Amino acid sequence: METKTRSAGIILILVGVLFLLISAGFALREYFTYKVTFTGSPTLQAVLSQLAAELLILVVKVAFLGILIAVGSVLLRFGIEMIKEKK
């Protein structure tokens, strides 16, 4: 039974680290490829509406990364606790 718990802990740690690496990769990709595009007439209303749309997209991306990081951290914590309690 102890080996199953240890194996489950190692799997949780690996999946948690994988989630954190994936979120870091997504963040770096967005950082290096993000370009703001303002098209159309330069009126204040057009600029504000395009800015609001860009900010909404960024908020959704940040929320997705935050959830992915939180899940990865929880998996890491539970994996470490499973290995620690059996020693």
Nearest to 27 by CA among 72, 56, 68, 55: 68
Q: Lowest-pLDDT range, 12-16, 46-50, 56-60, 79-83?
A: 46-50
pTM for this one?
0.79
Q: Is 14 strand, coil or helix?
A: helix
Q: Is the pLDDT of residue 1 over 70?
A: no
pLDDT of the residue at 87: 58
Q: Considering Cα of 7, then 12, then 13, then 19, what sign does the dihedral take? A: positive
Taking only the tens place, the pLDDT of each residue in 6-55 is 899 999 999 999 999 999 999 999 989 988 777 777 888 888 888 898 89
Neighbour tally for 10: CB within 10 Å: 13
